[in-house]
Amino acid sequence: MARERITLKSNADIVLMREAGLITAAALKAVRDAIAPGISTLELDAIAESTIVSMGAKSNFKLVPGYKHTICSSVNDEVVHGIPSKDKILAPGDIISVDCGAVTPAGWNGDAAFSLVVPGGDPELMAQRQLISDACEGSLWAGIAAFAGAKRLNEVGRAVEKSIKAAGRYGILQDYIGHGVGRSMHEDPAVFNYQTRDLGPVIEPGLVIAIEPMITAGGQAVKILADEWTVSSKDGSDSSHWEHTVARHSGGIWVLTAEDGGVAGLAKYGITPVPLES
């Protein structure tokens, strides 16, 4: 990506982006709290929509041409972009990844995702699915920690890949990656989840990105289903997707879509996130 296409944010901009991040976090928390056997992914979508609207914002997913929902809900072998449906009912032991975003009246965006194993299933299957979720979440925080001190952006991708490989033999999606966030939900630069030959752009204060590893329990090959949105593992293996919007500002790093700003996730790396004052 050309460096001149990257829009750096001021500290004041990042403070405003934090509002979008907290609204996104609240919507995801409401969905997480509602996940249980028997609920449909369309019901989860309604919960996210209600939360975002009640906080004075709008769904930025609905601004994507052709997409009509507030969340993406991807179950088991579906990795990303799963469409909510009244017919998709969660069963005990399913693994679901929920992706969501919000845009504030001021025009700033947040974007985040989590995976969760639905309670009540076969213990062995649930344990296997929890392992892939833990591996994916762990790689997200490894990438965020790298971003805190990186000089070039692909240091993030290298850290994400290293963490995933240390956790087990997982497939890392190649064509679905992270991105910049700001006035648009998807901006430059591209944020890879693996090491590339290109070191990526120089990291400067004001860079805000979404780091979002997506992995499968099998191979990295995926297919797009007949709905033309849902991305599924080609070999039918389980998957996981985690994401946060993260700012690198003049005083440090701040995880905008984490309620605590990233304190818990970064503690093991000895990194303390630095919030900005409005």
Q: What is the CATH number of the domain that holds 225?
A: 3.90.230.10
pLDDT band at 1 (very low <50, low <70, confident <90, very high): very low
- Per the domain annotation, does 259 fall within a domain? yes
- Per the domain annotation, does 234 fall within a domain? yes
- Per the domain annotation, does 103 fall within a domain? yes
Q: Does residue 259 carry a pLDDT above 80?
A: yes
Number of domains in the chain: 1
- Per the domain annotation, does 1 fall within a domain? no
- Which structural domain range is residue 77 located in? 7-269
Percent of the chain scored above 70 by pLDDT? Answer: 98
- Per the domain annotation, does 218 fall within a domain? yes
pTM: 0.97
Give the angle subtended at the CA of 194 by the CAs of 192 and 195, to the nearest 5°: 100
- Per the domain annotation, does 54 fall within a domain? yes
Q: What is the separation of C-alpha 195 from the centre of its chain, rounded to a whole number of angstroms?
A: 19
Q: Does residue 2 carry a pLDDT above 50?
A: no
| pLDDT tens digits for range 236-253 | 999 999 999 999 999 999
| pLDDT tens digits for range 211-228 | 999 999 999 999 999 999
Q: What is the separation of C-alpha 219 from the centre of its chain, rounded to a whole number of angstroms?
A: 21
- Per the domain annotation, does 147 fall within a domain? yes
- Per the domain annotation, does 274 fall within a domain? no
Residue 169, both tokens: 């033999």
